[in-house]
Structure 1
Amino acid sequence: MNINTTLRKFIENSNYFNNRLNREVIEFIDESNIDCKYKKAQKLIEQLVEPHRKNQLYRHITELYEVEVATMSLTGKRDHVLHSVNTFLLGLFINDKYLDKKVDMFQWNISALFHDIAYPLEISQKIIERYFNKLNSIKCELDVENFTPNLNIVPKDFEKLTNNKNSFEYIQKRVYKWGLDINVQKRYADMIFSNQICHGIISALTVLYLIDLMYQSNNPERNNNNNNHSGWEQRYFENDVVSACSAIFLHNLSDDAFKNIKKNKAPLPYLLKLCDELQNWDRPKTDMLNGDSPENYDVFIHDNKLIYKVGSESIKYEILHKIECLNDRNVVIKNETQQ
C-alpha cells in the first residue's frame, strides 16, 4: 500500500501534461527528502499555472512556504504547500476515475493549488493570540485586576474588484448555481464578528482579487473577443476563475455549508472538499517533521466506489467525520487491515 505509487502509475499512463512537466510531477512524487520536495512543489506550482499566464500567483506560494517554515514550531500547524500539490494530484485521479461529471482542469488547477494561499494570515493570528494569552496569564498569576489588552484583525476591502465589481456577488451567483443555500456575505460577516480568520474565505477573495487585477491589466475592456490578449477573455474570468474561487470560499466552511451538495451538480466544490480532507500524507508538522508516510494510504476504484485506505482506525474515523457532510456513500474509508 502506497498512495504515491498509485498516483505515479496514474500520471505515467495519463496525458494531462507534456513530457517535461510529466517528468517534473513524477520527480515530485518520488522525492523523499522533505526540503527537496518543498522546492520541487514550488517549481511545479509555477509550471502548472504558467500556461494559463497566472504565474504571478506563484509568488504567494513562496511566501506561504517561508511563513510556514518560520512559524511551525510556534503554531504546531501542518504544511500547506506540499498539501496543495498532493491535493491537486489526488484530485486528478478522483476526477478521472470516479466522478461522472468531470471538473474542468483550469478550474481545478486554481482551486487545488491556491485553496490555502491565505494561510499566513491565519498563522499570524495564532501567533498574536499566543502573545496575548501569555500576557493575560501573567496578569492572572499576579492576581491584579486590570483591563485585558487585545488586538483584533479585521480584513477590509478584500471583496472590492475593479470596475466597481464585487467578489461576493460573483461567488453568490455561482454558489446558488451549484444548488447550495449559503449567504456568502453573511459568512464573511460572521467571520469578522468572530475575530477568527477563515483561510478559505480569505484565500478565495485573495485569488479573485489578484486575477481580476491581471485581467484588468491584460484586457481592460473585458472583451470576450480579445485577439490581442488571447486567454484573458472575460468569459474565462466569469466562468472558470469565479468557479475556482467559489470552491475555495466553501472548502473550509462548517459542515452545514455542504448539506445539500450533489457531486454531479457541484463537482468542483465537492472534489476540493473531498481531496482536502483525504490528503494527509507527506504533511510535515511540529511532532512529525516528515509527515505521515504515503505507505499508510492508498486509493482505488472498486464496484464504482472510491476506496481510500488508511493506516489506522483513528485516522479512518477522523476522515469519515470530516467527509460525512458530502453525503456520498460511494466513498469508503478503510483501515489497511480490513479486507
Structure 2
Amino acid sequence: MTNKDLQLLEEIVNTDIPNLIPKFMNEAFNNGTREIEHPLDCTVTEKLKEISSKMRDEDDDYRIFCFADDIKDIWKLVIQKSIKCLRYFDTREPYIEYPSKHPVAYGVEELSDYFDKYISFESMLYGGGKYYRDHVIHVFRVWLLGLQCLLDDDGKYLKKIEIQRDIEINCFEKISIWSMIALTHDLGYPLEKAQGIIDRTKDMMKCFISNPTVSMDLSFNGIQTNMNDFVVRFISSKMIEVNNKCPKEECDEIERRYVARIQPKYYNKFQKSLERYNHGILSAIILYKLLRYFLESDFNINEDYQFGQEEARQFYIHREILRAVASHTCRDIYHLDMLSFSFLLIVVDDAQEWGRKRISELYVNKDSSYEFCSIVPSFDVHESQHRDETIKIHSFKAKEKFSFKNESDLRDTFLSLYKQCRGYKEIFRDGQDTIRRNFNFEKQCDISFENTKSVNYVVQLIISYDDRPRFTITVSGDTPRALNKFGVKYFEEIFKPYMVEKLESSSKEYSNTYEIIDQSE
C-alpha cells in the first residue's frame, strides 16, 4: 500500500502546471516571458520533491511528522507566493505594466510568528481535550488533498470552480486562493480551545483552593470589537450592479459599477459563530488583522460609494478566502454549490483523517486500522430542470476503510460515522434556493471485523439534490448464519433512540441493508 502523503506529493509535483493555464494568459502577460511566482512554482515544487524523495511506499502515516520543520517553511513560502500571485494579477497594481517591479507579501512574517506560537502551543492542546488531534501537519495535508482534487483530470475541477458568477479568475489565482484557505483555516483553533484549558485549570485548583479565580479573559472589547465587526460585515457582503443611466450610444464604453450590500443572514450567522469562539471565524479575523493584503481590501456600504469592475473582482477574491475559512465551522450556513472553495474545504478537511493521533493513542497501541481511499469529484453527471433554468448536477464521492479487532471499537465507529452523517445533513440541509443545489454527496466506509472475518459492513451516507438524505449499513457474509447476530435489534442497541429499518436483503449474496432514521428530522 502506497503511503498516502507520498502519493499526494508525487501527484502534485508531477503535474504539468503550465499546461493547465489557458494559452491566452501567457499571451496577455508579456507573451509568457516573465516568470510568475505562484504556490506551485519551481521553488515550491523542489521543496516538495525533497520531502517525497525521503519517503517510501512502506512508510506509515506518521512518517510525514519527521519533516515538520520543512513543512513549516513551505507553509510560509506558499502563503507568500499566494499573496504575490494575487497582487500580480490585480490590474490596479503596477506589476504587469512595469516588469521591474515585484509584489511583496507584507505581514507574512507576523503571521509566521503566530504560527510558530501555534506549534509551540499545540502540545498543551493535546492535554486540553480527550479527542484533540494534530492541526499543524493536518493543514498541509488538506492543502495537498485539495490540490489533488483541483488538478486531477487535466485540472477539470480547477477550471470549473468559481468564486462568483460572472467574476473571472485565472488558474494561478484559483490555486493561490485555495492555498490561502487550506493553510490558514485552523489558525484560530488554539483560541477556541484555550477557554477549555482555563476551565480545566480552574477545576484542578479546586482541590486545594475553595474558590479559585482565574483572571484570564478571552472576550473582545472596545476597538477590538469594532474591528471584528468590520471583518464580519466584510465577509457577509456582496456586490450589486448599479444601473447608471447613460445615452445608448455611450453605454458600451462606460465601466460597470457596483455597490456593496450586507447579506443579513450571513452577518447574523457569522456573528453567532464569533460569539461562540468558533475557530473558523477567529482564523478569518487573524488573517485580516495580520496580513496587509486584507487590510487593503476595499469595502464600503455607503450608498454613494461605487466599485469599478476590478475593485468588485478583488473584493470577491478577498471575501472568498475569508468566507471559506469562517464558514467551515459555521453550521448555520448551508451549501448549494459544489463548485465553490467553501464546499471543497469542508469535504477535504473532513476527509483528512489519516495519521492524526489522539491523546488516547499516544501511549497505547491501537486495536484498529484506518485507510483513506479516495475522494472523487465528477462533473455534469446529469441535468435538472427548474422552471426555465437547466442545472448541471455534479457528484462528490469519498471512500475510506476501517479494520477492527474488538467489537467496542466497531460499535463506537458506527456511532461516530452517524454523528458525522448528521453534521453533513445539517450543512447540506434543505432551505431557501436549495432546489438549485447542483450536487450529490456520497460517503462510503468499508469495515471489516477480525473476530468475525466472514462478515463485512458497508456504511453509506447519500445526500441527494432531489431526495431525502440516507444513512445505511449493509451487512454481508459467507453464509446466512453469519448474519444472524446483526439484525434490527443489534443496531437498535447501538443507535438508540434512532429508528432502524430493514430495507432489503439478498439471499443470493447473503446481505442485509438497514437504514438509521432520526425521526426528529
Question: Scaled by the length of structure 2, what TM-score is found?
Answer: 0.51
Q: Deviations over 1:143-169 (max 9, x none)?
A: xxxx7857652124456559xx92122
Look up the equivalent residue of 1:25 and give its one-letter code: L
**280, 285, 295: which one aligns with 2:353:** 280
Give the match for residue 19 of structure 1. 42
Alignment of 1:16-95 (within 5 A): 16=17, 17-28=40-51, 32-33=62-63, 35-51=65-81, 52=83, 53=105, 55-56=108-109, 57-76=111-130, 77-95=132-150
d(CA) in 2 for partners of 1:302 and 1:166?
35
Query: Greater helix share, 1 or 2?
Result: 1
Residues 235 and 322, structure 2, Cα contact 8 Å, conserved in 1: yes
Q: How many residues align?
A: 310
d(CA) in 2 for partners of 1:276 and 1:220?
27
Unaligned runs of 5+ in 2: 18-39, 56-61, 84-104, 163-173, 241-259, 300-309, 380-394, 403-409, 429-438, 449-456, 459-521
d(CA) in 2 for partners of 1:108 and 1:15?
18
Look up the equivalent residue of 2:442 and give its one-letter code: V
Look up the equivalent residue of 1:238 and give its one-letter code: F
Residues 284 and 323, structure 2, Cα contact 8 Å, conserved in 1: yes
Q: How big is the shift at 1:234?
A: 6.4
Q: Give the % identical residues.
A: 18
Query: Greater strand share, 1 or 2?
Result: 2
**287, 296, 311: which one aligns with 1:207:** 287
Alignment of 1:1-339 (within 5 A): 2-16=3-17, 17-28=40-51, 32-33=62-63, 35-51=65-81, 52=83, 53=105, 55-56=108-109, 57-76=111-130, 77-97=132-152, 99=157, 101-102=160-161, 104-135=174-205, 152-156=217-221, 157-158=223-224, 160=226, 166-174=230-238, 182-185=265-268, 187-189=270-272, 191-192=274-275, 196-211=276-291, 213=292, 238-254=315-331, 256-258=332-334, 260-264=335-339, 267-289=340-362, 296-301=371-376, 305-312=395-402, 314=413, 316-317=417-418, 319-327=420-428, 328-335=439-446
Residues 277 and 319, structure 1, Cα contact 8 Å, conserved in 2: no
d(CA) in 2 for partners of 1:207 and 1:159?
16
Q: How big is the shift at 1:185?
A: 4.4
Q: How big is the shift at 1:173?
A: 0.9
Greater gyration radius: 2
Residues 9 and 49, structure 2, Cα contact 8 Å, conserved in 1: yes
d(CA) in 2 for partners of 1:94 and 1:158?
38
Give the structure, 1 or 2, with the largest relative contact order (CA under 8 Å, sep 6 or more): 1
* Residue aligned with 1:153, SS: coil
Q: How big is the shift at 1:300?
A: 4.8
d(CA) in 1 for partners of 2:8 and 2:297?
41
Return closer, same or farther for 1:306/1:201 CA change in 2, 3 Å cut-off: same
d(CA) in 2 for partners of 1:78 and 1:309?
21
Q: How big is the shift at 1:74?
A: 3.9
Residues 274 and 323, structure 1, Cα contact 8 Å, conserved in 2: no
Residues 142 and 348, structure 2, Cα contact 8 Å, conserved in 1: yes
d(CA) in 2 for partners of 1:129 and 1:210?
28
Look up the equivalent residue of 1:310 and give its one-letter code: E
Return closer, same or farther for 1:189/1:303 CA change in 2, 3 Å cut-off: closer
Unaligned runs of 5+ in 1: 223-232
Look up the equivalent residue of 2:399 and give its one-letter code: K
Residues 10 and 49, structure 2, Cα contact 8 Å, conserved in 1: no
- Please give the root-mean-square deviation of Cα atoms over the aligned residues, in Å: 4.0
Residues 118 and 199, structure 1, Cα contact 8 Å, conserved in 2: yes
Q: How big is the shift at 1:303?
A: 6.6
Question: Scaled by the length of structure 1, what TM-score is found?
Answer: 0.74
Q: How big is the shift at 1:126?
A: 1.4
* Residue aligned with 2:74, SS: helix
* Residue aligned with 1:263, SS: coil
Q: Deviations over 1:98-120 (max 9, x none)?
A: 74732522221111111111122
d(CA) in 2 for partners of 1:5 and 1:175?
42
